[in-house]
Structure 1
Amino acid sequence: MTLFYLLLVALIQGITEFLPVSSSGHLILLPQLTGAMDQGLVIDVAVHVGTLGAVVAFFWRDVRGAVAGVPRLVAGRIDTEGSKLAFLLIIATIPVVLVGFVAKVTGLADAMRSITVIGWAMLVFGLVLYWFDQKGPTTKGAGDWNTRDAVILGLWQAVAIIPGTSRSGITITGARALGYTRADGAKIAMLMSIPTIVASGVLLGADVVGQANWMLMQLAGIAALFAFVSALLALTFMMRLLRSVSFTPYVIYRVILGIILLTISYT
């Protein structure tokens, strides 16, 4: 793997992780469209760590509050904003962990890694995002997040096991369907990504034990750093952009890419 290709992987992961355009779909497409070798699990784990660092840094105040609320949650008390947030994030993460585990052990996750699946997911779920973004009410803020909505958004997030769906995109779609504003829906989706990325990293990390060597670890460190920087920039850009525009630009990109991929797949 060349350094250029490594940086390309890190940049794609970082930029697309938090935009509603599917990071996993782009990473699957990269080796298929370029003919290059797959980057491997070690690099996958590294870029996940990088993007995790970015979202933690961006939402540090909320993350710090949730972490501080864990001891109270363990003691059975959900009486602070932090303990409530920690509880809701755990509830929202359970569905995707269960579905992801089943997909992995049954081989379904590997079976869906195709241009056809990614193309349809890009197209269909892009249009679904557009529909709820345009038609959904804007009556709720991040402070209105409750157990019922956490369960519902957790189920929406579980759909992201399909490559090309976009974890952030489908969660934002669910948030808009529930009536959350664009900015607050995106914030909830980003916070939900933290335990999901941790769970994904642990699952991938279990497969890479014993595979890494010093040279590969150096490359992984470089990939993590570039993924961190690009993810932080992309996240900052999207959250600021939502103050003035809708999710339509991302939908247009998804639809165009989906049509291109389906054309390639069926011809």
Structure 2
Amino acid sequence: MALSYILLLALIQGLTEFLPISSSAHLILPSQVLGWPDQGLAFDVAVHVGTLVAVLLYFRRDFSLLFLGWLRSVISLPGRERRSGGYSRMAWAIVIATIPAVIAGWLLNSFIDIYLRSVLVIAIATIFFGLILWVADLKRTEKFRRVDDIGWRGALIVGMAQAIALIPGTSRSGITITAGLMLGLTRRAAARFSFLMSAPLILAAGLFKTLELIEQGSDAPWGDVALGAGLSCVSAYLCIHLFMELISRIGMTPFVIYRLLLGLLLLGVYFSL
């Protein structure tokens, strides 16, 4: 692959995986507008691995405490009672929030691939769910500053929202942040929960694609693959850092405006085909 192609696709994956602007809306543009070929399964796996490493590195302390908290909630240590602190509740919230998307993906993956991966669907979803994000941000109540305050019902609602993100153009981070805001989380808490709950799904997607890659066999250009993974990791890490630092001040309006413009561009592409 050309270096410019590798750079663009890795940056798109790294930046759009966590910003509420829809990665699928951006990944369709190089092929539809520029006529670039599909990047291949090995490259797809690599950029997913890159974004997974980024979120694990950025929230490394959270993930270690989540794992320890979960262990304490399920294992009775000698001479100690089971403890269920904030991190154990958050760990279970992530587990609960992951279940709907896993089930929906298993049941609907073929349907989505056949019927929903079109420029028109992505354009409409980009605009519609962008407007929903805008409304949720304007109407937010900020009752809860911590994720574990929303309880298992709230986690399930966010998880069901994450399942809706299987519709291309929705944006996984966008709709989960939307759900968090509607439940009363602060902007920062909603974004943090969205990023933390992304790890299991990115891992699952990466493993699924890896198995598919093994079945197909591959003579992929591994230098390009490694470069793509590294670039997506660095861009995703920087993206998470800047988003978490700025989101409380700038809100969701800039991303909503961007989504509306992007959706209109995709509609223009669709009707010009």
Indicate the TM-score class for this superposition, using the shorter chain for normalisation.
over 0.9
Q: What residue in structure 1 maps to residue 153 of structure 2? A: 148
What pairs up with 1:79-228 in 2 under 5 angstroms? Answer: 79-104=84-109, 106-142=110-146, 143-211=148-216, 213=218, 215-228=220-233
Deviation at 1:37, TM superposition (A): 0.7
Q: TM-score, normalised by structure 2?
A: 0.91
Q: What residue in structure 1 maps to residue 79 of structure 2? A: none
Rounded Cα–Cα distance in structure 1 between residues aligned with 2:114 and 2:242: 32
Percentage of matched positions with identical amino acids? 44
Q: Show CA shifts across 1:4-40 (max 9, x none).
A: 2122111100011110001122113321221111112
RMSD: 1.8
**SS at 2:168 equivalent:** coil
Deviation at 1:103, TM superposition (A): 2.0
8 Å CA contact 2:112–2:167 kept in 1: the answer is no
Q: Show CA shifts across 1:39-77 (max 9, x none).
A: 122111111111111111111111111222343345385
What pairs up with 1:238-253 in 2 under 5 angstroms? Answer: 238-253=243-258
Rounded Cα–Cα distance in structure 2 between residues aligned with 1:182 and 1:264: 33
Rounded Cα–Cα distance in structure 2 between residues aligned with 1:110 and 1:28: 15
Q: What residue in structure 1 maps to residue 59 of structure 2? A: 59
Rounded Cα–Cα distance in structure 1 between residues aligned with 2:168 and 2:83: 35
8 Å CA contact 2:33–2:269 kept in 1: the answer is no
8 Å CA contact 2:119–2:270 kept in 1: the answer is yes
**SS at 1:165 equivalent:** coil
**SS at 2:173 equivalent:** helix
Rounded Cα–Cα distance in structure 1 between residues aligned with 2:208 and 2:88: 26
Unaligned runs of 5+ in 2: 77-81
Q: Which residue identity is paired with 1:44? A: D
Deviation at 1:216, TM superposition (A): 2.8
8 Å CA contact 1:96–1:158 kept in 2: the answer is yes
8 Å CA contact 2:177–2:191 kept in 1: the answer is yes
Deviation at 1:212, TM superposition (A): 5.2
Rounded Cα–Cα distance in structure 2 between residues aligned with 1:191 and 1:264: 34
Q: Which has the larger radius of gyration?
A: 2
Shift >6 Å, 4+ stretches: none
Rounded Cα–Cα distance in structure 2 between residues aligned with 1:212 and 1:67: 35
Deviation at 1:242, TM superposition (A): 1.2
Rounded Cα–Cα distance in structure 2 between residues aligned with 1:265 and 1:217: 34
**1:229 matches 2:234:** yes
Rounded Cα–Cα distance in structure 2 between residues aligned with 1:231 and 1:110: 29
Q: Which residue identity is paired with 1:255? A: L
